[in-house]
Each structure stands twice: as C-alpha cells, then as structure tokens.
Chain A
Amino acid sequence: GAVVSQHPSWVICKSGTSVKIECRSLDFQATTMFWYRQFPKQSLMLMATSNEGSKATYEQGVEKDKFLINHASLTLSTLTVTSAHPEDSSFYICSASEGVGEKLFFGSGTQLSVL
C-alpha cells in the first residue's frame, strides 16, 4: 500500500529556533498534502492544505508566517515552525492523497518539544 514518510519522528529544540518537518510520499504522487496538529488523546486539527506548486491554504487561526509550508514537488511537503515557543510543542502529522477526495495516507507524526 501507499506509504508516507515523515521526518523527524521527534525533535527537541530551544525557544526561538526554527524546526523543519518533512513529509514524503514514497510510492505515489501526492498532489495534495495536509498538515495537522494533535494534542494527547484528542483529534487531529487541520492546520493547512498544501497543493503542489501553489500556496498553501491555512485554516482559520493558523499563522501562515509562523507555520511555513512548502510543497515544491509531487512527493515532498515541508512544514517549518519558525521561532518556536513552548506553546508550539505538540504532535504534528501530515497526510497525502493522490488527488482531491482520494484516500488519505498518514505519516507517522513528529513530536515537537520546545524548551
């Protein structure tokens, strides 16, 4: 089945630094990728929808200048948390699909801890 690779699995950084998270579709071309944030035992909160070759669409309340998304190719999307602060600590997950409304495949998530 389709595989989505997310890297790194966990990262610890100092407050004020930036962190980049990668999401790759390994055996299919993902025209659309989604980025979510998740708190323990809670559902996924959609942050943004990333379309290859165009600007990401951010959900209400998500700062686009803080959470930079780049979808430069059909197999790679990146989320950069800029000037991270402790309140940005969370589990971040990406998902990818081959097209609009197609089945979603999820990455394994990235646990970010900002000290």
Chain B
Amino acid sequence: TQLLEQSPQFLSIQEGENLTVYCNSSSVFSSLQWYRQEPGEGPVLLVTVVTGGEVKKLKRLTFQFGDARKDSSLHITAAQPGDTGLYLCAGLSNTGNQFYFGTGTSLTVIP
C-alpha cells in the first residue's frame, strides 16, 4: 500500500495567518492532486502537479511537488474563513491505475 501522510492532521488558525500543509510518502507518484472538501459534500479538485519541483499558484494557495515526486506541500497565505475545510492530497501510482489518498488535514480558520 502506498501511504500518503499529511501533517498536521488538524489545524486551527486566525484569519490572516499563513499555513503550510505537508503530504509525504516514501513512494514515487506520477502526479499528485490536492482537493478541498466541505462537510457533507464531495472533494473538489484544486490542482494537479506532475513534474518534480513544479510549483503552481492558485490565488493565495501555492502548491509544490517535491523534486523526487514523493511529497508535496500546500501553502495558504492570509487564510480566510472560506478556506475552512478538509484538505486531501492524492497521488497517482506510477502504473497510472490508482489514486492513493492522504490522511487528510482539517483546517479551521477563525474570523
């Protein structure tokens, strides 16, 4: 089983603060995705990173894929209450036939 460990598991911060969520594995993935999920809904895709070392920005969110394609990070600048949710990373196996989901990070941004 290819495990993706996310840290921290829970995070509660004040509005305006910055934060970083990590997604780590000992396995290599051909690509990695980040999702955000709100209670009672399905996950929504935020970004896909494919190339080792790749950095993608989505407004206040910055995603980075590790050089070895084993890990990734999500940095949020000036967090807002609307950023509250469960963040999930998901790695696509090198065989390309299965996604493995991370353990999840539950973020709460307090107004």
Contacts and interface: CB of A to CB of B under 8 A. Distances in A.
Tell me, yes or no, whether A binds B.
yes
Contacts of A34: 99
A62 to B, nearest CB: 14
Interface string A86-103: 000001010100001101
Interface residues of B, number: 26
B40 A109 contact: yes
A104 interface: yes
Interface residues of A, number: 23
B92 interface: yes
Interface stretch (A37-45, A63-71, A73-81): A37-45
Given A103-B45, A109-B42, A44 B92 contact: no
A111 B104 contact: no
Interface string A33-57: 0100000111110100100000000
26 contacts: A9-B40, A34-B99, A40-B39, A41-B86, A41-B104, A42-B103, A43-B6, A43-B88, A43-B101, A43-B102, A43-B103, A43-B104, A44-B43, A49-B98, A95-B42, A100-B96, A100-B97, A101-B30, A104-B90, A104-B99, A106-B35, A106-B42, A106-B43, A108-B42, A109-B41, A109-B42
Interface of B: 6, 10, 30, 33, 35, 39-45, 48, 86, 88, 90, 92, 96-99, 101-104, 106
Interface of A: 4, 6, 9, 34, 40-44, 46, 49, 91, 93, 95, 100-101, 103-104, 106-109, 111
